[in-house]
Amino acid sequence: MRLARCVQQWILLNTLILLPWVSCNKLDTIPDSGEDLPRLGARRSVSFREDVHHEEDGEGLVRPLYRQRVPPISSTTSVNRDFYFPGPTTRRRVTTVPTGSNPDFYFDYLRDESRQPGRSSGAGRDRPRAAAGGTEFSYNEKDKNGPTNWYRIAPQCGGRYQSPIMLNTSSAMYVRNKRPLQLVGQTNLPQAIRLQNDGHSAKFTYVWNEGDRPYIRGGPLKTKYFFEQFHFHWGSNDTLGSEHVLDYHRFPMELHLVFYNGLYSSFEDARNEVDGLVVVGMFYEIYDRFNEQLNTWTRFLQEVITPESTFTIQFIDTFPLYEVIGDVEWPYFSYEGSLTTPPCLETVTWIVSAKPLLITAKEIREFRRIRTRSGGLMMNNFRPVQKLYNRRVFRY
């Protein structure tokens, strides 16, 4: 009798110990942020096509398991999607800069060489703004308002916290104990997306319903930063285009997602504050085993070939940030820097992913068809790398 009660108690005790483990073990992928988790039910979410799978967890949160669309490859070789800090064996179509050479000089030389002769697109409004206001900047070092003279337009461009910079895995300080970086609301759909050719880049600005605006938190960030817009920097060929240089490699394109500190009411309000902005930088590399659409949103670029043009992507065609960058689970660099165009405000915490996204040759050609105010092709719209001075770069 006594033995039976003892066994009964033992079973009860085990059940009590195991119960919470069983109900919680599906939650292990949700980082413990200590803050309230977003409730997806209150927000519209997007349905993904066949390449994205959803996983239902214990709290009713739907967390899509994202993989960038990569077409199936029939051969036995496969693309390495687990690329992290690059080692010497990583295959990439990028330019290698010899150690010790001055990267600024090197890339300026390349830029001049690859410059396209301007062809007028016929519209009078395509004339450069320099004629009117005198504040227009140029990416061409030979121009009066080229990168080394930007400080004449905006004094901060001559500061000691400027971006972009060279990122080096070996010299960056590794942060061992880190909070996960999270992009909350990454699957939210906006009301519309305004795509704009602003004369220097193709910019996607989302129009949000109240409460739907995504934000980034964790990692090096002390507060939430709300998403404002994203835009790109690209080259005239696949050996150049990115602004940051990773271990002496330049990529053909770089995406910038701009966020502003939630302590301020808007991007305009935050941009001048010391902790005002976060820019997430992501490199692209060419996916050369397939030449169709990998990034469906690139189809809209043809709508803004004309300088100063704007195209509104209606709700039915909108896409979440998730469709552009996927999960934010990559290793990255972080440092204190600036906007990479005038006014070069030194209020940016940079987060630059070490894992490139993929784009096909056909898609990047869509970028290279876009035109500038002078009628030339918009390309090589990247600023030369800036001196680090006494800043430290962290690796997460």
For Zn ion, which stretch binds (CB under 5 A), given 34-42, 70-78, 84-92, 254-262? 254-262
Regarding 355 and contact with Zn ion (CB under 5 A), the answer is: no
Q: Where are the alpha helices (DSSP H) in 197-287?
A: 267-270
In degrees rounded to 5, what are phi and psi of residue 138? -125, 155
- Closest separation in Å from C-beta 340 to Zn ion: 5
Q: State how far the Cα of 243 lies from the Cα of 240, in Å rounded to an integer.
A: 9
Q: Which one from 54, 200, 249, 256 is the annotated catalytic residue? A: 200
Using DSSP's 3-state secondary structure scheme, residue 136 falls into: coil
| Among the listed residues 248, 340, 325, the one whose alpha carbon sits nearest the alpha carbon of residue 283 | 325
Residue 200 annotated as catalytic: yes
Contact 72/50 with Cβ under 8 angstroms? no
Q: Which stretch binds Zn ion (CB under 5 A): 39-47, 135-143, 216-224, 251-259?
A: 251-259
Which residue intervals of the chain are DSSP H helices? Answer: 2-24, 103-114, 150-153, 267-270, 321-325, 361-368
For Zn ion, the closer of residues 256 and 373 by Cβ is 256
> Is 203 near Zn ion (CB under 5 A)?
no
In the chain, count H helices and then E strands. Answer: 6, 19
Smallest gap from Cβ 118 to Zn ion, in A, equals 23
Stretch that binds Zn ion, among 124-132, 216-224, 250-258, 344-352 (CB under 5 A): 250-258
CB of 198 to Zn ion, least distance (A): 11
Q: Which is nearer to Zn ion, 64 or 276 (CB)?
A: 276
Q: Does 256 bind Zn ion (CB under 5 A)?
A: yes
For Zn ion, which is the closer residue by CB, 221 or 255?
A: 255
**Minimum gap (Å) between residue 228 Cβ and Zn ion:** 12
**What is the dihedral angle through the alpha carbons of 65, 67, 68, 70, rounded to the nearest 10 degrees?**
-140
Tokens of 301: 């670029």
Residue nearest to Zn ion (CB): 256
| Contact residues for Zn ion, defined by CB under 5 A | 256
Where in the sequence numbering do the catalytic residues fall? 200
